[in-house]
Amino acid sequence: MEYYSKEIGNLIGELQKLPGIGEKGAQRLAFHILNMPPDDVKHMAETLVSARTNVHYCKVCCTLTDSETCPICSNPKRNHRQIMVVENSRDMAAYEKTGKYEGVYHVLHGAISPMQGIGPNDIRLKELMKRLEGDVDEVIIATNSSLEGETTAMYISRLIKPTGIRVTRIASGVPVGGDIEYIDEVTLLRAFEGRTEL
Ligand code: ZN
C-alpha cells in the first residue's frame, strides 16, 4: 500500500473491509470514487451513514427496517399465524419476490455453526420462541440447505415440537449448499409448496 499516498491508502483500506472486495477491487473502487464529482461522493457517504443510523431490527420479526415494525409485520392482510424462519433479510426478500407467500417472517441473522463458534444464543432464536407464545399455527423453516442451515432447522424443530405448533421444512428442491437468495422464484415456490412436516 506504500505506493499510494496516505489518503488513498486509507480509502483502499476501508473499501477492502467489505465482503468480496480484495485489494485489486478496492483499488479500482477507490480510483473510481476519486474521479467522481465531489457532491456525488458526499451524497454516497451521507447515505451510508444515514442508513446505518436509521436502520435497525424490526421489533417483531427482526428484519432490518427503518420503522419500528417492518411493512410486512404491520400489514393486517398478512397471515400472522404462519411464520417463515429465514437466515437473513436477503432470503426474506427472495421469498417476497415470488409474491405468493402470505404469512410473515422471522429473521435469525445467521445460522448455528459449531465450527465457527456460532451457537443458538448468537442468532435471533429467543425472539422467535417469544413470538410462539402468541397465536401461531405453523412455523416454516426456510434456512439454507447448507450444513449450518440443516443444523439450525433441526435445532429449532426440537425446540418447537413440545409446544404442539406445526413445524415444516421447505423441500430440498434447493441445491445443497445453495444460498436461498440466488435461487429462482419457481424453485423457491416449489420448495415452499413441497414443504414437509418435521
Ligand atoms: Zn417485521
Interval 121-163: pLDDT, tens: 999 999 999 999 999 999 999 998 888 999 999 999 999 999 9
| pLDDT > 90? residue 171 | no
Separation of CA 171 and ligand 1 centre (Å): 24
- The residue-averaged pLDDT of 175-190 equals 66
Separation of CA 10 and ligand 1 centre (Å): 37
Separation of CA 39 and ligand 1 centre (Å): 34
- The residue-averaged pLDDT of 86-101 equals 90
Separation of CA 68 and ligand 1 centre (Å): 9
| pLDDT > 60? residue 175 | no
Separation of CA 130 and ligand 1 centre (Å): 14
Give buried/exposed letters for 162-189 (b at 16+ CB in 10 A, else e).
eeeeebbbbeebbeeebbbbebeeebbb
Residue 33's Cα: distance from chain center in Å? 28
- The residue-averaged pLDDT of 11-38 equals 96
> pTM to 2 decimals?
0.78
Neighbours of ion ligand 1 (CB under 5 A): 58, 60-61, 70, 73
User: Long-range contacts for 68-73 (Cβ within 8 Å, ≥24 apart)?
Assistant: 72/96, 72/104, 72/105, 73/104
